[in-house]
Amino acid sequence: MFNYFRKRFTSHIRERSRRRARLVSKDGRCNIEFGNVEQSRFVFLIDIWTTILDLRWRYKMTIFISAFLGSWFLFGLLWYVVAYIHKDLPEFNPSINHTPCVENINGLTSAFLFSLETQVTIGYGFRCVTEQCATAIFLLIFQSILGVIINSFMCGAILAKISRSKNRAKTITFSKNAVISKRGGKLCLLIRVANLRKSLLIGSHIYGKLLKTTITPEGETIILDQVNIEFVVDAGNENLFFISPLTIYHIIDKNSPFFHMAAETILQQDFELVVFLDGTVEATSATCQVRTSYIPEEVLWGYRFAPIVSKTKEGKYRVDFQNFSKTVAVETPHCAFCLYNEKEAKAKEKKGYDNPGFVLSEVSETSDTKM
């Protein structure tokens, strides 16, 4: 038992040591950090709307609560100051004929309650502004306008956060692994993608980027060099009818960066394949982008995806997501170059060749037959 756990622990440590850093996680988050940014952080306050939308929920709700409580308390202090200057507080022993600026403000607590009633337009009617002070009337108007602005901004930010197309992208899923096998007589890299909702993505477009480190002829090392990877489906890669899971594939030809890779060497390669799906949400008409990535350990050579769509007895089409990422081993050439040479050899066999060393000589035949 001890040896078993020791082997498991050792294999886990080895796997963690082999784990490669990836720019894009499986759920689409980017693993990148900005350092030594010369611009001040105040530039983010210029685009305060985007800054608020990008905040996490815990920070957003903290700002939401702080904005309301802060404005109520600030205007409560101002109402208390007005009452204090006009000597409306009980500590000044106002006369019976004294008309206060705001009735029934007896201290800081009552001033805070009046500020809350004014800004959220509750209006209990117990405390109200009189015609005695122009300052109080101006403060009432200013707080009402500012309260509407705060309500509109904060409620709009929360609504926009809830309805962001980023949340719609979470219902688009990619297969855990990519596979390489023959498809239509060509060696292809295949990935499966599915829409978990019945609502469609309009104008969907799928493409990929291969990230790797390259060295230019001038000796410059480029980290995260991007190479375009074209993905297609049988119906074309534009305006996909994305109602059922699709298998997208990239043809590994001479122009593909996977052409010089083989089944034995792909794990020694250093690359990251990032796949993007752009589309428009049918319900909100907002554009969204879904992305995921694959590293060499997640590319299976010599496999294909198991079928997941079937037809029931009632005539409905059923998608079994239990087999969504399931793969099946198939016979596959161990490199694209081998498949290419094999096709050339078969084509040459059909065409045949002329032997330049062959000489046709005519032989005269003599007949010894006598009549």
How confident is the model over 37-92, as pLDDT tens digits? 666 666 777 778 888 888 888 998 999 999 999 999 999 999 999 999 999 898 88
DSSP annotation string for 9-24? HHHHHHHHHHPPP-SB
Q: Using 50, 70 and 90 to split pLDDT, how confident is the model at 285?
A: confident
- State residue 332's pLDDT score: 87
- State residue 17's pLDDT score: 43
Three-state DSSP class for 366? coil
Statement: residue 174 has pLDDT above 80: yes
- State residue 44's pLDDT score: 72
Statement: residue 360 has pLDDT above 70: no
Q: What is the pLDDT of residues 78-135, one digit of tens each?
A: 999 999 999 989 888 888 888 899 988 999 999 999 999 999 888 787 888 988 899 9
pTM recorded for the entire structure: 0.68
- State residue 343's pLDDT score: 60
- State residue 68's pLDDT score: 93
Alpha helices by DSSP H, 102-188: 108-119, 134-162, 165-168
Q: Are 273 and 210 in contact (CB under 8 A)?
A: yes
Q: Are 332 and 301 in contact (CB under 8 A)?
A: yes
- State residue 215's pLDDT score: 81
Statement: residue 4 has pLDDT above 60: no
Q: Domains along the chain? A: 39-163 (1.10.287.70), 168-349 (2.60.40.1400)
Q: What is the pLDDT of residues 323-353, one digit of tens each?
A: 888 999 998 888 877 777 666 555 555 555 5
Statement: residue 18 has pLDDT above 60: no
d(CA 211, CA 255): 16
Alpha helices by DSSP H, 163-310: 165-168
Considering 13-27, 225-239, 269-283, the range whose residues carry the highest mean pLDDT is 269-283
- Cα pseudo-dihedral 174, 178, 182, 187, rounded to 10: 110
